[in-house]
Chain A
Amino acid sequence: MIGDWRYLFRFALGVLFIWAALGKIADINHFAYDVHNFHLLPRAIENVFAMVLPWIELVAGLLLILNVAPRSGVIVLSSLLVIFLIAIVSALVRNLDIACGCFGTKDAGVTGMITLFRDIGFLALAVLGYPWRDPVILAEPVQIEAESPPL
């Protein structure tokens, strides 16, 4: 299964998310502020979200690299990317001048169109890397000649 060309995309996605997760885990307080600045979540769950999200990214990224449960890994990371996409679009619509925080404190860039296209690119990686089931190739229909009725 590792020989599958789609694994390359999953591997790349896994590395990206592990990198992103480590950046956030290194400074969870900062990430919690980045989450808060989006003003999308109730304040009561912002901190828990900031605590948990990087570890979900890390676990899913590791699974993709190890090629263990690749479908689940890609689905989880794709869901996160869709959530990030909504958050970025929301920030752009509201004209918020805030840091993305996508890669922890190393990512001090302001949430903007570059962040948006980057997220879409990652989503494309996830779609390309998803281990779709091989289409079932049906055998050519065989004409079964009706046996001649016994005399």
Chain B
Amino acid sequence: MILAAGIGLGLGYNALRAQPLPWVAKPLPKMTSLDSLGTSSDSTSGSLAHPEIIELGKDTTTAQVERQHITTMPVQPPIGVVDSVTRSVTKVPPSSTDTTLPPSHVADTTSKMTPPPAYSDIPESEDPIKVTLAQTKRFFDRGGVVILDARDSEEYAEGHIQGAISAPTDTKMGDIEWLQKMAKDPRPIICYCSGGDCELSIELATELTRTGHRRVLVFEDGFPAWQTAGYPVVEGTSP
């Protein structure tokens, strides 16, 4: 009787919720790696090893210092989420070296819905694409990508990839407005979580592709691999 009551109440309550949990969890797609999609590791490195990245040591002017900030924080938040960063980018006065900035670092490009040419090395796909640590680092260095941390906000605060945005899978999966906003963002999205058996990043990436985004990457090795490699990590609640 207790079991029957519990089952009845549970199913009934779920059916009455505004966003009910599906009875059967959607199966995760079989992800293909970026290499197997025609962008081999070498070619990827060739295209992703961005020759236009500014060398920090050569900049001395105030404006250039500001650009240093951009290059050290190459990962931008989603459109409409944090405007202050893109505004600070627009303050950079045009100069001959500005042409070397990756297109995605210019605020104007973020308002356009067509992906900049720099993303052509990431094929459009209806399913998420796996990327390695090296590939993720190259995208990170190049900038113009959105990095989403699919872990809990507590884990995010303990440490995350520099510039990554907290997107806890359990809350963002049901946030249709946020998903649609992300789907309209032309920049590639890289999702990661804790590596190992963690599938939060795959879940989030799958939901993003289902919402319509066509360049969603999953960094399966996740934060532990990034941290072990000694790549930039930030603590706290801000990217």
Task: Please give the residue numbers on chain A whose beta carbons come within 8 Å of chain B beta carbons, in ascending order.
Answer: 25, 27-30, 32-33, 36-37, 39, 43-48, 50-60, 63, 69, 72-73, 76, 96-97, 99, 108
Can you pick out 13 interface pairs between chain A and chain B where the beta carbons lie within 8 Å of each other? A28-B14, A44-B24, A47-B22, A51-B10, A52-B7, A52-B10, A52-B11, A53-B10, A54-B10, A59-B5, A59-B6, A59-B9, A69-B2
* CB–CB A47/B173 < 8 A: no
Interface residues of B in 10-61 (CB under 8 A from A): 10-11, 13-14, 17, 21-25, 27
For the complex, is B152 an interface residue (Cβ under 8 Å from A)? yes
Interface residues of B in 142-200 (CB under 8 A from A): 152, 154, 169-171, 173-174, 194, 196-200
6 smallest CB-CB distances across A and B, nearest first, come from: A56-B6, A52-B10, A55-B10, A30-B170, A55-B9, A55-B6
- What is the total number of residues of chain B having a CB less than 8 Å from a CB of chain A? 32
Contact partners of B173 in chain A: CB under 8 A: 29
* CB–CB A33/B13 < 8 A: no
Number of A-B contacts (CB under 8 A): 88
Contact partners of B10 in chain A: CB under 8 A: 51-56
A46 to B174, CA, bound (A): 17
A27 to B13, CA, bound (A): 12
Task: Please give the residue numbers on chain B whose beta carbons come within 8 Å of chain A beta carbons, in ascending order.
Answer: 1-3, 5-7, 9-11, 13-14, 17, 21-25, 27, 152, 154, 169-171, 173-174, 194, 196-200, 203
* CB–CB A96/B197 < 8 A: yes
Q: Which of B25, B170, B196, B198 is close to A44, meaning CB atoms less than 8 Å apart?
A: B25
Contact partners of A52 in chain B: CB under 8 A: 6-7, 10-11
* CB–CB A58/B22 < 8 A: no
A28 to B196, CA, bound (A): 24
Contact partners of A53 in chain B: CB under 8 A: 6, 10
